[in-house]
Amino acid sequence: MIEPLTQRLIEVAYLEDSPYGDLTSELVIPKTKRAMANFIAKEPLVLAGMPYVTETFAFMTNEFDLEVFKNEGDTCSRGDVIAKVEGLATDLLRAERIALNLLQRLSGIATLTRAYIDRVKGLPVKIVDTRKTTPGMRLMEKYAVKIGGGSNHRFGLSDGILIKDNHIKAAGSITEAVRLARRSHHLLRIEVEVSEMDQVKEALDVGVDVIMLDNMDIDKMREAVHFINKRALVEASGGVNLDNVRAIAETGVDIISIGAITHSARAVDISMKVL
């Protein structure tokens, strides 16, 4: 089932792309002309987003048939036929770019996430996303992260307590920020972002549940993990890339959060070709 937020985004995409219809298709293609088209992978990729492709066609018309040949999370090779859609030619062409924009974007996120997962294979660490997502597409993009093998951090500001550097400055200290948070939400887990060892010690002293090591180098991160010694979950964040993610995982952190898997994922190349 597609969520209302996603349905609204697809509606906005149609209003953006064809507010008064598809002028070219309506002029050159007979209204009753039916067609069939294949979705084809133009490069190796991890597939994510076909449920949203289905919703893209369904939003406009009930007169279509979509047959999907690959599962979400499958690795596709160049030239693989991902799916076949049949319906009125004008409907297919009006939906084409919206469907491809979503499928290419989400498959790009899943593909990049899988690359990070492969780099830390065999190590007991979770790769998670962040809130650095495309406005309006967070639910879709976090879905793609999970399809790629990653895990989701909090969905939004309403979903958990994460005390970051600006909160600490505004509250006066880690201790005071945690005291205020715990006073109102004693049942929720509290996470604190730190960048120095004295902050690690303060966070442990006040009994936080998760300590985020922000932009620490490998040596300092290893020292922090050793000092924490399982008294809190440890998350590494900031400056993570495919070249250093395994070294970070080898420090013993429990979680690695990576904004790049959503904000910097490249859309993969997928085409829709009418047969």
Rounded mean pLDDT of 38-61?
96
Residue 1 has pLDDT above 80, yes or no: no
193, 202, 235, 254: the catalytic one is 193
Q: For domain 120-263, give its CATH number from 3.40.140.10, 3.30.365.10, 3.90.1170.50, 3.20.20.70.
A: 3.20.20.70
How far, in Å, CA of 47 to CA of 269, rounded?
11
Report the chain's mean pLDDT, rounded to a whole number.
96
Segment 101-126, tens digit of pLDDT: 999 999 999 999 999 999 999 999 99
User: For residue 248, what are its two tokens?
Assistant: 């970070």
150-156: long-range contacts (C-beta < 8 A, 24 or more apart)? 150/113, 150/116, 150/117, 150/126, 150/261, 151/126, 151/127, 152/128, 153/128, 153/129, 153/257, 156/131
Residue 2 has pLDDT above 70, yes or no: no
Closest alpha carbon to 152 in 251, 59, 255: 255
Residue 260 has pLDDT above 90, yes or no: yes
**Structural domain boundaries in the chain:** 4-117+266-274, 120-263
What confidence tier does 187 reach under pLDDT thresholds 50, 70, 90? confident
pTM: 0.95
Say what the pLDDT of residue 238 is. 96
| Residues 206 and 178: beta-carbon distance below 8 Å | yes
What confidence tier does 4 reach under pLDDT thresholds 50, 70, 90? confident
- First-to-last C-alpha distance (Å) of the chain: 30
Segment 120-165, tens digit of pLDDT: 999 999 999 999 999 999 999 999 999 999 999 999 999 999 999 9
Residue 272 has pLDDT above 90, yes or no: yes
Rounded mean pLDDT of 58-79?
96
Say what the pLDDT of residue 5 is. 86
70, 84, 97, 131: the catalytic one is 97
Question: Is 214 among the catalytic positions?
Answer: yes
What confidence tier does 186 reach under pLDDT thresholds 50, 70, 90? confident
42, 131, 164, 220: the catalytic one is 164
Question: Is 132 among the catalytic positions?
Answer: yes
Third-level CATH fold of 4-117+266-274: Aldehyde Oxidoreductase; domain 3 (3.90.1170)
Portion of the chain with pLDDT greater than 90, in percent: 94
Task: Give the E-state strand segments of the chain in sequence order.
Answer: 34-41, 45-46, 64-68, 75-76, 81-88, 126-128, 161-163, 190-194, 210-214, 233-237, 255-257, 270-274
Question: Is 219 among the catalytic positions?
Answer: no
Rounded mean pLDDT of 228-232?
97
42, 131, 132, 182: the catalytic one is 132
